[in-house]
Amino acid sequence: MYYINDGVYGAFNCILFDHQVVHPYVLSMGGSFHVAASEPLQTSSVWGPTCDSIDCVCRTVQLPVGLRVGDWLGFPNMGAYTICAASQFNGFQVSKVVYTAGVFRPAEVRALLARFASELIDKEDDV
């Protein structure tokens, strides 16, 4: 059982209101980002910080045995209708948002942005 600093009263309100199912993965463990955990996996649950029995983020997920305070879990596809509907239930502040883009490959990101920018310029020329 793991507790995280956000829950269904915050960015994970989509679990209650939209019946979303989230799939946490290890983003950082022991200070290393995007490195596969060497620890064995165990069936775990992930809970929000409020001590409210409804604040369950994920009932069953395989996570490394050795997760510690300071390690990070990632939750893909947490975009619209998450943080904008967060409350400050029980005195908990709205969580800070950290954007990630998978494995960092700066050359690929630059190429994608350049292609996207050129497509926008081409569309403006057509108008």
- Sketch out the chain's domains with CATH numbers: 2-101 (2.40.37.10)
pLDDT tens sequence across 7-39:
888 889 889 888 889 999 888 888 777 667 678
51 is catalytic: yes
Cβ-based burial of 56 (10 A; exposed 0-12, middle 13-18, buried ≥19): middle
Q: What is the pTM of this model?
A: 0.71
Strand partners, 61: 44
Q: Which of 14, 51, 56, 84 is catalytic?
A: 51
Mean pLDDT for the stretch of residues 46-73:
92
